[in-house]
Structure 1
Amino acid sequence: MEIRAVIIDDEPLSRQELLHLLKVHSDIMVIGEAPSAEKGMEMVLTEEPDVLFLDIEMTGMNGVELAEALQKMKKPPAIIFATAYPDYAVKAFRVEAVDYLLKPFDETQLEQAIRRLKLRIQPKEVKLPSAGRLAVQSEDRIIYLEPGELLYVYREGRDTFLVSEKGTYPTKSSLKDLENKLKPFSFFRVHKGYLVNIKKVEELVSWSTNVFELKVRNSDKLIPVSRNYVKDLREALEL
């Protein structure tokens, strides 16, 4: 299970230290860093991380205030506070934080926090309808799509779309929900805004060391591939 994380801390050295410690945890992918709670909120809305490693004392909005604001979301990310101040533990409990790490960071304490995190966010089995299909609204009709006929799924702003050879259909499901639902059907996240059907991939194109795109069958669309996902994608494609 891959866990997508964002580190929010106004101290660059603290972010670097935590990033270094997290590298030994191969299932934790740090997808971004933010120097303030405000920037962190923007990243939550655009990146949909699973967990935030969140400092408390920051200029402007503090970490507890950010955590309280996130509780209003339908599916907020998990919170692990990472701070030099022990006085906020009660408030951390009130916002249902997974754990409360004190600086300087202790590797054993971090391991325990990640263990608790996995227990917290372990996805419950998601069942598709008995027919194994996805229902989408198209004008005055409801269309049922088999997962296997989808080419890719993408997010544009706050909207999500399913793409098949027959057309493109909007859906109310989030990209994260669809990632969980479609994983058994060979779908793979290749970018923060794209899931692809591995069985439909025809080409993986390398434009430079860090720039990749792929093509799927019967589509001219070049789908961006984040360098964070290239290694796992190549393995999934058996390259």
Structure 2
Amino acid sequence: MLRVLAVDDEKPLLEELLYLLRADDRVVSAEGACDATGALRRITRALESGPDGADAIDVVFLDIHMAGLTGLDIARLLAGFAQPPLIVFVTAHEGFAVQAFDLKAVDYVLKPVRPERLAEAVRRACDHLGRSAARQPPAPAGTAAVPPAVPAQHRRTEATAPGTGAAAAAAADRAQDLIAVELGGVTRFVAIADIAYVEAQGDYARLHTDAGSHLVRIPLSTLEERWAARGFVRIHRRHLVALRRIDELRLDAGTTSVRVGAAELQVSRRHARQLRDLLMRQATG
């Protein structure tokens, strides 16, 4: 019987995946997470609980393209632990299969998900867990069971590395301070603190830093909501600005603009008063 976590940032697709998983008799529980941070927090609890604990997770059904960290990024983070949950990627993109199986994924399911194909992925996960259990010989009567040996590359000692739960929690915290961007098929991580302003480009957003710019598939409105507590302020329907990076506020013939480094950005009338108030509060501490 499998305990499952499904991760997808598109809510209707996540609900459909959970419906199909819960309909499978081999799945004893199926939870959902709609972003990478939520997924890492839930997986942290599972790792702290251990494979036989109340919060354990056997398999993560993981989307690849998500806002922030991708499914591949999450899988790479989990690969450093001795007993991570199994990974099944569920994606609309065929081109990541090689990377997925390099990360020891149990299966790679393409969207739209067909019930019979998902059932096959569940079977493979069950078979994999069965083989893993079979490799561990039963303990002799009267002795405590000894956990299987951990491969050298995954061993962690108290002197050199934090506990599993602490490390996963640190990974979750770090994930909140970074945003993943793709450039030439390579995923890089940009510190949110390095972003001066964000420019809307349809359903995408362009992140501007001192070193250059990066395009991410996240609407500006989503970033505005996520980063409000980090000091990012909407100044125009096209721009979101880090308040601390504003060098000048300019008023000229009834129009308002701000200078952020070498860029001069227009401030819409509906946002001008709020921006002036925020800058005044910042200046007065």
With normalisation by structure 2, the TM-score equals: 0.45
Equivalent residue number for residue 76 of structure 1: 84
Task: Give structure 2 stretches of 5+ with no counterpart.
Answer: 47-55, 147-163, 167-285
1:32 counterpart residue number: 31
Following the alignment from structure 2 to structure 1, what is the Cα–Cα distance between the partners of residues 71 and 32? 14
Q: Which runs of 5+ in 1 are unaligned?
A: 136-156, 160-239
Give the 3 Å change call, closer, same or farther, for CA 134–22 of structure 1 in structure 2. Answer: closer
Shift in alpha-carbon separation, 1:134–1:94, aligned structure 2, 3 A: closer
Aligned residue identity for 1:82: V
* From 122, 126, 131, the counterpart of 1:118: 126
Compared CA separation, residues 19 and 129, structure 1 to 2 (3 A): same
The structure with the greater share of residues assigned to helix is 2
- Taking every aligned residue pair, what percent have the same amino acid on both sides? 32
1:80-99 pair list within 5 angstroms? 80-99=88-107
- 1:201-233: CA deviations, max 9, x gaps? xxxxxxxxxxxxxxxxxxxxxxxxxxxxxxxxx
Decide whether the 8 Å contact of 1:19 with 1:30 is kept in 2. Answer: no
- The within-5 A match list for 1:201-216 is none
Aligned length: 137
Structure number with higher strand proportion: 1
Alpha-carbon offset, residue 11 of structure 1: 0.7
Residue 13 of structure 2 corresponds to 14
> Partner of 1:105: helix, strand, or coil?
coil
Q: How far apart, in 2, do the equivalents of 1:101 and 1:43 lie?
A: 22
C-alpha spacing 1:76/1:65, structure 2 compared with 1 (3 Å): same
Give the partner amino acid of 1:22.
L
Question: Which stretches of structure 1, 4 residues or longer, exceed 6 Å deviation after superposition?
Answer: none
Residue number among 130, 145, 151 corresponding to 2:141 in the alignment: 130
Root mean square deviation, CA, Å: 2.2
| Helix, strand or coil at the partner of 1:96 | coil
Would the aligned equivalents of 2:18 and 2:30 in 1 still touch at CA under 8 Å?
Answer: no
In structure 2, give the amino acid aligned to 1:67: A
Matched, 1:62 2:70: yes
1 CA distance for matches of 2:140 and 2:44?
A: 28
Q: How does 1:133-148 map to 2 (within 5 A)?
A: 133=144
Greater RCO (CA < 8 Å, at least 6 residues apart): 2
Structure 1: which amino acid aligns with 2:81? Answer: M
TM-score normalised per structure 1: 0.53
